[in-house]
Amino acid sequence: MNTTAPAVHAQLGDESSIWFKLSALVRGNPDNPMDTLRQMSERYGPVIVVNMASQRVVFLSEPDHFKHVLVTKADNYIKYFDGLKPIFGKSMITNDGALWQKIRMPQQPAFHPDMFAEYIPYFVTAIRTKMDNWAELARTGETVEMVEQTWTLAADMICKALFDRDMPFNPHFVFKCVKTYTDVMNHKEIRLKKQADEFFEVSEADTAKAVEAWWSVPPAVMAADPREHRERTLLKMIEAAIADPARPEFDEQQAIDEIKQYLWAGTETTALTLAWALYLLSNHPEAAERVRQEGQSVIGDRDPTADDYAALQYTRSVIQETMRIYPPVWGLIRVASEPDMIGGKEIKPGDRVVVFGYGAHHNPKFWDEPEAFRPERWMDKTKKQVKYSYIPFGAGKRSCIGGAMSQVENTLALSILLRRFRPEYVGQNPAGINATVTLTPKGGLNFKIRELS
């Protein structure tokens, strides 16, 4: 088993990387880099081919074209993961074709909606730990960065519910390590400063150390004592796959990489959604109050159940609306493997294709007042959504395995936390955004935690 970090892993900031190229493109508006891409698609149409240092990059912003790439011709558009390999290894999310299917299949049952009722008590235990922590923060009055707060919660929920473990690592440290690596803007800054022979804040040695710390996490999860020795957990399914001679592809390194994947793909996105939701609710106190009232009338003072989750319609709509406005995965990247035509434009093998979900989420053609935060729009059953105009979890066979589960986690977290606390956003308003691999708040989201009397 190889648990050593790769020697060189600056690919995210390498000039050949799509992330490096995109970071240059999205710098037009420093507070909302998505604006540049939206303006480009308004001006040049739904399929834009840009030549960036001999690499063709194709931007798509029409739902029909999303469907073409992600569903109809999904096999001709393969996953792009350069630069993210140190984070995800050779896990399911990075693979294609038959191998991807063989890796996904034994894990799929852990994400069936029937499992959610089993997971809810563990989500609630993690939320209560966060509440104890917030009670202390409310007492001291210190300012906290919310994505770090919600990441530690999301990681705890995954460890407890899916792995039957208490987090066998310091979540604040691990969070900072991976952020050091994935912040593409930082990588670019490092490169530019290096060229200018300046002092730079995050060195390549720092990123190497960060990745090394990250690589130590999955073996720690596997070695940690189970909390309750439950039989039906994702970790048990992964262990069974390793032991199954009919699955030679599922070796121990595969297991390590799958755990890595869940601890980032399954946590950062969930954490960003909850943090952005709290930011939106801090700016819309009437909506926060409605979340509180719904929690009071649906759950009251009991522990929540799967039926309660189904009944928390408004709170769930807040989460859905948050992912429309701030989709954690703002664009999906694919590499064309075959010649093709999209919207009358030629696609060549090797082209990097960017499915610009954020663009569709903010397009007035598909949404009334797209910039307005209106959770109610999700409760209006008379309005039909244009298919593929909302793709926070991707689409087609490669869509998110944990999307439905993340909505349970976040809906319950929002409902329970807001019943006791009023998290107050104290940062720059409106918050700026960074378009790195995910859509992150620029400089974080600073909050003070207030306890309701």
Residue type, 253: Q
3 state SS of 67: helix
Give exposure, 325-354, as e/b (b: 16+ Cβ within 10 Å): bbbbbbbbbbbbeeebebeeeebeeebbbb
- The nearer residue to ligand HEM, 266 or 295, going by C-beta atoms, is 266
Question: CB of 326 within 8 A of CB of 449?
Answer: no
Residue 30 C-beta: closest distance to ligand HEM, Å: 24
- The nearer residue to ligand HEM, 320 or 363, going by C-beta atoms, is 320
Helix, strand and coil in the chain, % to nearest 5: 55, 10, 35
- The residue whose two tokens read 């390498």 is 14
Residue 264 C-beta: closest distance to ligand HEM, Å: 9
Q: 55-60 and 352-355 as β-strands: parallel, antiparallel, unpaired?
A: parallel
Sequence-separated (6 or more) residues with CB below 8 Å from residue 59: 37, 40, 41, 47, 48, 50, 354, 356
* CB atoms closer than 10 angstroms to residue 25: 17
Residue 384 DSSP label: P
Tokens of 443: 């400089």
Select from 167, 166, 146 the least CA-distant residue to 446: 146
- The nearer residue to ligand HEM, 144 or 272, going by C-beta atoms, is 272
What's the rounded Cα separation, in Å, for the pair 373 and 420? 23
Residue 353 C-beta: closest distance to ligand HEM, Å: 11
Residue 194 C-beta: closest distance to ligand HEM, Å: 30
- The nearer residue to ligand HEM, 295 or 402, going by C-beta atoms, is 402
Tokens of 80: 């792009």
- The nearer residue to ligand HEM, 177 or 265, going by C-beta atoms, is 265
- The nearer residue to ligand HEM, 95 or 186, going by C-beta atoms, is 95
Residue 154 C-beta: closest distance to ligand HEM, Å: 8
Residue 231 C-beta: closest distance to ligand HEM, Å: 19
Residue 322 C-beta: closest distance to ligand HEM, Å: 9
Residue 195 C-beta: closest distance to ligand HEM, Å: 32
Which residues sit at the interface with ligand HEM, rule CB under 6 A? 79, 92-93, 104, 158, 261-262, 265-266, 269-270, 273, 328-329, 332, 392-394, 398-403, 405-406
- The nearer residue to ligand HEM, 158 or 185, going by C-beta atoms, is 158
Q: At what angle do helices 268-283 and 146-163 cross, to 10 degrees?
A: 130
Residue 438 C-beta: closest distance to ligand HEM, Å: 8
What's the rounded Cα separation, in Å, for the pair 453 and 420? 8
- The nearer residue to ligand HEM, 361 or 422, going by C-beta atoms, is 361
The side-by-side arrangement of strands in the sheet containing 421-425 is 143-145, 446-451, 421-425
- The nearer residue to ligand HEM, 79 or 236, going by C-beta atoms, is 79
Phi, psi of 263 (to 5 degrees): -80, -5
By beta-carbon distance, which residue lies closest to ligand HEM? 402
Residue 328 C-beta: closest distance to ligand HEM, Å: 4
Query: In degrees, to the nearest 5, what angle opens at C-alpha 387 toward C-alphas 385 and 393?
Result: 100
Tokens of 171: 């979540």
Select from 66, 44, 59, 69 the least CA-distant residue to 386: 66
Q: 439-441 and 433-435 as β-strands: parallel, antiparallel, unpaired?
A: antiparallel
